[in-house]
Structure 1
Amino acid sequence: MKMDAYYLFYITAIEQNFSKAAKRLFVTQPNISQSIAQLEDRLQTKLFQRHSKGVSLTNEGQLLFQQLEPAFQLIQQAETNLNERRYLKQGSVAIGASDSTCKHLLLPIVQSFQRQFPEIQLKLQHGSTPQLIEKLDQGTIDLALVHMPINEQTYTIHSVFTIHSTFVVGERYQSLAREPQSIADLAHYPILSFSQKSHARHYLNELFAKQDLLVTPEVEVGAMDVLLECARIGMGVAFVTKEFVQQELDEHALYEVSLDEPLNPRQIGIVTRNQAQLSHAANRFLEKLNQSQ
């Protein structure tokens, strides 16, 4: 089976003229005539009736055209779909991030991307860094914003956001914000933290361990909003990311507790699985994320 010959037949049947078909296909008229003749010879069937104004299909030619038309329309639709994806007229991107990272880092970029490419569907999934890495491995998300470090042999780090950890309190413990405190000082107060499996909690544990202290938070939560509300109503000292609570600090809904020794900054990386074949839409969203640095 020679698909080229069938395609020449298909276009000729639409144009009903060898010259017009040749012009549409950027070939010569003799090439069209020869191809059709060879196809008719191979099928042992007359496909066209020649006349002065062009050609028309025989009954057998009409039957062949009816059989071929859906196939070539599917091919044309497949090409159209691929081109639309290439030029971001359709497609989807699945992005993973923690709740707070999504709210403060991802959503502003999502909003801008949707204005620029409204036909692209963005799918947001939340989870901790281990959960997001698992989703990357499973292929359920295209890219993720995760806490560093990660295994760089398995994943590609495209760029990073630098964040800073800090402690915050509400009015009840506002006195702690008046002068620098040590980690040992804070150990005497109720500590509010994310759950045990979170990256922030691991970092908090390390801070206390360096002072030979064991931290046992009074409250452990999975969402930033709940953590901040617990601090606001005076339940204790919350360990948070400063960039994510800047509005509350500016509005004096919460107060930052300075430490006598500043904490090292942390990083959130934009990562994909090594050698992952990203779609045009996912690549474009990744570019926009990188540009936001």
Structure 2
Amino acid sequence: MQLDLYRIFYVTAKEKNFSKAAKILYITQPSVSHAVKQLEEGLEIQLFIRSSKGVTLTHEGKTLFEYISPAFDLIRNAELKITELKNLDSGQVSVGGSDSTFKHFLLPNIQTFQNLFPEIKIKLQHGSTPQILEKLVNGKIDIGLVHLPIEENLVEITDYLSISSTFVVGKKYQDLAKKNISIEEMLNYPIISFSEASSSRKLLNQIFSKRGLEVTPDVEVGSVELLIECAKIGMGIAFVTKELVLKELSKGELYEVCLNEEMQNRKIGIITRKGFPFSLAADKFFKHLIELNHKKQSI
């Protein structure tokens, strides 16, 4: 039996009138009558009792209506939900990244986005770069923010931010901010870094390995906040993203080590699943991030 016949029956049963059903369905009254007759013949039952005032359901008609109503109500609710999504009156975006990336680079942009689209929920999922890649590929998040470079054929990479790395110390080693020091000389001091799996630690290893050196940090931490505190109390030289310690540097709580060479900038990228379309909400959020970034770069 054709679904259109059931739809005409459903509307007619709700309106209890062939003429009203025809107006709602944008068809003629004879077309409604013909469709109902087809359905009755197909099911071999009478669905309506006709009268001059309209129609009423037979016992069999009521039974059929009770069963098909939830289906058509679900379709109607689905249409309303799609309309909400198109108007960005609802929706959700899942974003993966590290705590420090969220705090220092993403939260201000989330605030401006939610000012524009308060009904869209932003869900944050913490993780290291390998964990974020795994979540993205498995469809657990829509967007990831990770330190570049990465190697993964299943994702699209969009350059987002350029950040700088540096070495900082507390007051105990503040003399290192007053004289030029080489990478080799830093091995004479305790080194503070993130754990082995982090992208920051991998970069630190690369910096030393390029000079034929091997670095073994004396202190390994899991957060920027702990790394900063360890440096403050004089536990050693901390390797960190400079943008994350600007406040401490300006207050004189930390000092930037004066290297005799320049450090290369790093990049944070936005990663998305290759070949998978965004939801409307995720697409809007992605474009919001890119637009704000372009505005900052043009200032």
**Cα distance in structure 2, aligned partners of 1:67 and 1:200:** 60
Displacement of 1:191 in angstroms is 1.2
1-structure distance, mates of 2:208, 2:66: 76
- Following superposition, the deviation at residue 54 of structure 1 comes to 2.4
3-state DSSP of counterpart to 2:193: strand
User: For residue 297 of structure 2, what is the aligned residue in structure 1?
Assistant: none
* 4+ residue segments displaced more than 3 Å: none
Alignment match, 2:283: 283
Whole-Å separation in 2 of the counterparts to 1:59 and 1:128: 63
Question: What are the ranges of 5 or more consecutive residues in structure 1 without an aligned counterpart?
Answer: none
- How big is each residue's C-alpha offset from its partner over 1:117-136, in whole Å with a ceiling of 9 and x where there is no partner? 33333221122211211222
Aligned mates of 1:52, 1:88 — CA distance in 2: 47
Deviations 1:188-233 (A, max 9, x none): 2211111111111111112122233221212111111000000111
Judge conservation of contact 2:137–2:155 (CA < 8 Å) in 1. no
1:39-76 per-position Cα deviation (integer Å, ceiling 9, x unaligned):
22222222222223322222322222222212211222
Aligned to 1:263: 263
Alignment of 1:53-68 (within 5 A): 53-68=53-68
Q: Could you say which residue in structure 2 is the equivalent of 1:218?
A: 218
Aligned to 2:195: 195
Q: Please say if residues 160 and 269 of structure 1, whose CA atoms lie closer than 8 Å, have aligned partners that are also in contact.
A: yes
Alignment of 1:35-184 (within 5 A): 35-151=35-151, 153-184=153-184
SS of the aligned residue for 1:215 comes to coil
- 1:200/1:225 Cα in 2 relative to 1: closer, same or farther (>3 Å)? same
Alignment gaps of 5+ in structure 2: 294-299
Determine the C-alpha separation between the residues in 1 that align with 2:121 and 2:18: 44
Structural RMSD (CA): 1.8
1:4 match:
4
Q: Matched residues in 2 for 1:207 and 1:110: separation?
A: 33
Cα distance between partner residues in 1 of 2:245 and 2:25: 62
Q: Shift in Å at residue 28 of structure 1?
A: 1.6
Q: Report how many residues are paired.
A: 293
Deviation at 1:152, TM superposition (A): 5.7
**TM-superposition CA deviations, 1:213-265 (whole Å, max 9, x none):** 22121211111100000011111111100111112222222121232211111
